[in-house]
Structure 1
Amino acid sequence: MAFEKEIKLTDCRYSYAISPNVKKYTLRDNTFVQTRIGNYELTRLLETIPNSNDGFPLKITINKDLNGFKLMITDKSGLRSVNIFKSADHKILQDKFYFLMDSLVERGIFTKKEI
């Protein structure tokens, strides 16, 4: 998967784009970790029950030039994408995803657009 300027996850109500005003220190302040090759990565586990370690990993990677990103929700192995928006059974996971992404929008890392 290549770095993109805007991403819309399947069945998600919003599309997210990297903010043109994002700064490296803002990423570090928001617990993004710099990788060996210079990209910034944030991994969170979307869980129905907190601290159960039973959920789907959300992984956000922003390239070192701060002009593209990857956003994916996968199964525990990290190999297959998971669509948490398809079923109402995942309402709690959807709410947690939107909460996390809204906090990153408020901090100027992403912009969002309703679809």
Structure 2
Amino acid sequence: MMAKSKFVSINGDSRQFAIDDNIKRYPLIDAGFKQTKNGNFSYDRPLYNDSPYNATMRLKITISKDMTQLTMVITDKNGLQKVNLFKNEQLSAAKELLEFILKDLVEAHIITEDK
């Protein structure tokens, strides 16, 4: 039996997320996660308004290979600096895309939101 993962939040977001107890490998792959050389599952998606090539931020999620550890972060387009999407109203389109992605991951039983 897997140990329950702890809840984490995205920089600036008040909500908390954890790995869903019913997580399975294939839905991870279907949702866009890629397995890394060391066996972890990595999700890296640009948050953009019109073109992914002009994206100024990226959503990065990592789930450990034993599916017990979760990290979630929004970074600049180079992946070097954390970005707080929630304190800039001009980023509302990127926030909408983030909400859509998170909702899909919850519905696919990959992550769960702390209620």
Matched-pair contact (CA < 8 Å) for 1:8–1:16: yes
Seen in structure 2, the aligned counterparts of structure 1 residues 74 and 66 have a Cα distance that, compared at 3 Å, is same
Q: Which residue of 1 is the match for residue 106 of structure 2?
A: 105
Match of 2:90 in 1: 89
Q: CA RMSD in A?
A: 1.5
1:54 aligns with 2:55: yes
Note the residue ranges of structure 1 that are not aligned, 5 or more in a row. Answer: none
Answering whether residue 38 of structure 2 is matched by residue 37 of structure 1, we say yes
What percent of counterpart residues are identical? 35
What is the aligned residue count? 111
Q: Which residue type is aligned with residue 103 of structure 1?
A: D
1 or 2, which has the higher helix percentage?
A: 2
* Range 50-59 or range 68-77, more displaced: 50-59
Structure 1 stretch displaced more, 6-15 or 43-52: 6-15
Residue 65 of structure 1 aligns with which residue?
Answer: 66
Residue 94 to residue 109, structure 1, CA distance change in 2 (3 Å): same
Structure 1 distance, partners of 2:32, 2:78, is 22
Q: In 2, distance between residues paired with 1:57 and 1:77?
A: 8
Which has the larger share of strand?
1
Cα displacement (A) at 1:12: 1.5
Q: Is the 8 A contact 2:58 2:75 kept in 1?
A: yes
For residues 20-74 of structure 1, give each alpha carbon's deviation from its aligned partner in whole angstroms, at most 9, with x where no partner exists: 1101111112121100000001110001223343320111110000011111111
Question: Structure 2: which 5+ residue stretches go unaligned?
Answer: none
Under a length normalisation based on structure 1, what TM-score does the superposition of the two structures give?
Answer: 0.88
Instruction: Check whether the contact 1:45–1:53 (CA below 8 A) recurs between aligned residues.
Output: no
Q: 8 Å contact 2:58–2:77 — kept in the other structure?
A: yes
Distance 1:80 1:106 in 2: 29
